[in-house]
Structure 1
Amino acid sequence: MSNLLETLINDLRPNGGHIFYHYNNKENYIHNVVSFIVTGIKNGDHILLAENDRHMLDINKKLQKELSKGQLENLHFINNYDFYYSNGNFHPHTIVNYFLKNIEPFIEKGASLCSWGLIEWGEDKEINDDVVEYEKQVDSLVKEKGITSVCAYDSKRTSDSLKELLMRCHGVMLTDDEVVYLKQT
């Protein structure tokens, strides 16, 4: 998958793109997030990573083998719970503003930026509308700013109806073993 992911990232440069990653396997997920980070940093990008602490342990171990200390300075980690629930709930407008606040220093400096966010929530079905609203706002933002952004969802926790909606909010769908370019309206 690394070569496929590397090709995808390079294909989306310099205009960026919005990628829906619907993953099945944690090991593949960790491998792909590491490939994304390494590819981006080797391209000179800063990486904003919203990830859970459990995954960060595995990600950091692998990154230590792939990147130098200096290169790792281009990786900016935010706990995904703090990122998506900074206001105490999943509120799309608040999250997008928080995202903008975090990327603005890089944009102002003219730095190239990529982002990866693992989106997790409980069993609250009512949050689906908020997730879709958030994804629509992010889609518009990444196009405007030329950012390559991955929004990752565990397939075991994502209903078929939400998956269908998410496919409409992204230009690309990534699974553990394939890339699908989605037709957007």
Structure 2
Amino acid sequence: MKNSIIEVIKDLKKVKRGHICYFYNNEITYINNVVSFIVTGIRNGNHILLVENDRNILLINKQLEKVLSKKEWTFLHVINNYDFYYFNKNFNPHTIVNHFLENIEPFLKKGASICTWGLIEWGEDKEIHQCIEEYEKEVDKITNEKGIISVCAYNAGRTPQSLKELLIKCHGVTLTDDEAVKLR
């Protein structure tokens, strides 16, 4: 899907915003898509806020070391996803949205363009689905209001169908490892 993510981003750049839900199955494909997103974004003049787990950060950085210049690295801003989403030791949508805004506002105030990629993970908490939906609805509003392209990534095998259906309603585009579906 490497080309699909690039094509989707090109389309979204024309309207200067987009909220993408990515359900991945293959971890290698996932890492390759994150790297493509970062490289394409940076080379288009965007800052990238990457919210990712430590294991993936190592794999992503390994690939980026081969293609990014020293100057391009300054456009990448990485936060551990556990620290980001569990900022107050729980997945509180309002706290996370405020944390999200705190991280993007400095760039927007400077007139810089920013794109975000966040891997959302959770433990066995079944009650979290409503919180995730609430968070995603708020991020959808923010991406439209602020002109941001934002990818929210989920492991397809760990995401129940009922949550997938809720997430699809909160995003303008849904991606999988194999295809892109524009919803609005």
| TM-score under structure 1 length normalisation | 0.97
Query: C-alpha distance in 2, partners of 1:4/1:164?
Result: 22
Structure 2 residue runs without a partner (length 5+): none
Q: Tell me if 1:126 matches 2:123.
A: no
Query: C-alpha distance in 1, partners of 2:5/2:88?
Result: 33
- Please give the residue correspondences for 1:92-107 in structure 2 after superposition, counting only pairs within 5 Å: 92-107=93-108
Name the residue aligned to 1:73: 74
Equivalent residue letter for 1:62: Q
Query: C-alpha distance in 1, partners of 2:137/2:4?
Result: 25
- Please give the residue correspondences for 1:14-93 in structure 2 after superposition, counting only pairs within 5 Å: 14-93=15-94
Query: C-alpha distance in 2, partners of 1:27/1:126?
Result: 30
Name the residue aligned to 1:172: 173
Query: C-alpha distance in 1, partners of 2:2/2:28?
Result: 13
Name the residue aligned to 2:111: 110
Structural RMSD (CA) = 0.7
**How far apart are residue 73 of structure 1 and its match?**
0.7
Identity of aligned residues (%): 66
**How far apart are residue 16 of structure 1 and its match?**
1.1
Equivalent residue letter for 2:67: E
Equivalent residue letter for 1:115: T
Query: C-alpha distance in 2, partners of 1:170/1:84?
Result: 19
Name the residue aligned to 1:8: 8
Q: Secondary structure at the match of 2:111?
A: coil
**How far apart are residue 123 of structure 1 and its match?**
1.2
Q: After TM superposition, where is structure 1 displaced by more than 2 Å over at least 4 residues in a row?
A: none
Equivalent residue letter for 1:73: T
**How far apart are residue 2 of structure 1 and its match?**
2.2
Q: Secondary structure at the match of 2:178?
A: coil
**How far apart are residue 7 of structure 1 and its match?**
1.2
Q: Secondary structure at the match of 2:7?
A: helix
Deviations 1:18-59, CA, capped at 9 Å, x for gaps: 000000010000000000000000100000000000001110
**How far apart are residue 112 of structure 1 and its match?**
0.6
Query: C-alpha distance in 1, partners of 2:79/2:45?
Result: 20
Query: C-alpha distance in 2, partners of 1:124/1:170?
Result: 23
Deviations 1:159-184, CA, capped at 9 Å, x for gaps: 0000000000000001001100114x
Number of residue-to-residue matches in the alignment: 183
Query: C-alpha distance in 1, partners of 2:116/2:8?
Result: 14
Equivalent residue letter for 2:104: I
| TM-score under structure 2 length normalisation | 0.98
Query: C-alpha distance in 1, partners of 2:22/2:165?
Result: 13
**How far apart are residue 96 of structure 1 and its match?**
0.4
Q: Secondary structure at the match of 2:65?
A: helix
- Please give the residue correspondences for 1:147-166 in structure 2 after superposition, counting only pairs within 5 Å: 147-166=148-167
Q: Secondary structure at the match of 1:150?
A: strand
